[in-house]
Structure formats: C-alpha cells, structure tokens
Chain A
Amino acid sequence: AIQLTQSPSSLSASVGDRVTITCRASQGIYSALAWYQQKPGKSPKLLIFSASTLESGVPSRFRGSGSGTDFTLTITSLQPEDFGTYFCQQFSDYPITFGQGTRLEIK
C-alpha cells in the first residue's frame, strides 16, 4: 500500500499567518491527492482534490500544490475557524490511504 507521511504532526499558528503542511507519498501518485479538514467531534470535509483543485464552497485561502511524491497544503491567511486536523489522502491506487494527520491549533 502507498504510504503518506505528513509533516508536521502538529503546529500552532496565529490568525493571519501563512501555514504550510506537507504530504509525502512512498511512491509517485501523479496528482491523485486530496486534502480534508476534520474538526474535533466532526466528520472530515473535503477541501482540495487532484492536488490543487479547490472543492466548491471552500475558501480561496486554502491552496494545494505538488505532484508525484511531494504535496503541500497552504493556508494563506489563517482564520480562527481553521483549527482542526488536516489529512491528505491518495487515490492513485487501491487501497486508498491517508496521511496520519496534522493538528493545527490557533494561538
């Protein structure tokens, strides 16, 4: 199975900061990567698919980039409601796999 490694595992940032989360795949997955946000006690929500395409209704401050094995989720100007855990997920091959998550705390 393709392994996804996210970094950092957790981070704390202030409102207005630019935040970057990375996701590295154990083998090339083209652009078959999605990003999800999960708030405590809630179900995940899709933010970005195909590495860089913003899902409808998701604020434009969320940006995805990368292809092959290295991917990045950037929040350009952090807002208070952006706290939660972020997961990457590959859909290049079965079984579908997720990164271990990055917990984002607002200072």
Chain B
Amino acid sequence: EVQLVQSGAEVKKPGESLKISCEGSGYSFSDFWIGWVRQMPGKGLEWMGIIYPGDSNTRINPSFEGQVTMSVDASINTAYLRWSSLKASDTAIYYCARRLRHCGGDCYDPWGQGTLVTVSS
C-alpha cells in the first residue's frame, strides 16, 4: 500500500525553528515528486511547492519563497519542510502528498495525514 506518514503535531513559540517530516512507503520514493500543502484553521488548501527526491529539484510557490525550505533524504524515503523562524501566522495543518504521473500534471494522491503546527507565545 502506498502511504505517506507525517510527523506528529508541534507546538512552538514565535521565532523558533521547526522541521516536519513525511515518510513514504509502498513505492519507489525517489521516482515521484512530493508536494506540500498548507491548510490554515477552517480554511482552504494552499500549494506551497514540490520537491523531487531523485535530485532534490524544487519548485516553490512565490507566496512561500523565503518562508520555508523543502528538503529530502531519499536514503530514508523522507521529505522535510523547515522553518527557521516561525510566526503565529504559520499556524496550520501541513500536508505532504505524492504527485501522480498518470494525470499529466500536478495532481496528488495519496496525502499524508497532516501535521498540525501551532505557533503561540
């Protein structure tokens, strides 16, 4: 079974750093792009960007440029999303998702279960 398992919920203070993870299993991790999507409380979905585990090639949404860093360790089938200095407005659920090949573009399935990040003083 193809699945993505994300790291657990985090509670952080403004200004702190954070790295969350997304581990893939059941498929060749290096061969499929991984996307990251933000969902702020009670809101819709925002595409943050994608990373290719095979060569760490990355495409970031300009709205998130400079705010987060995407990385991957293909040797352990894991993608990461990192913040160097969190803000209260980063409070959200963050999803990773596998980009499918057969849809001809960026459509995603499956999705991880989501990581809730709460930033509060």
Contact = CB atoms under 8 A, between A and B. Distances in A.
A45 interface: yes
23 contacts: A34-B103, A34-B107, A43-B112, A43-B114, A44-B45, A44-B97, A44-B111, A46-B107, A46-B108, A46-B109, A49-B104, A50-B103, A50-B104, A89-B45, A89-B47, A91-B103, A91-B107, A94-B59, A95-B63, A98-B46, A100-B44, A101-B44, A101-B45
Interface residues of A, number: 23
B41 to A, nearest CB: 13
Contact of A91 (B59, B61, B62, B106): B106
A11 B95 CA distance: 26
Interface residues of B, number: 25
Contacts, number: 63
Given A95-B61, A98-B44, 17 more contacts: A32-B105, A34-B108, A36-B45, A43-B97, A43-B112, A44-B45, A45-B109, A49-B100, A49-B107, A50-B103, A87-B44, A87-B45, A91-B106, A92-B105, A94-B59, A94-B61, A95-B63
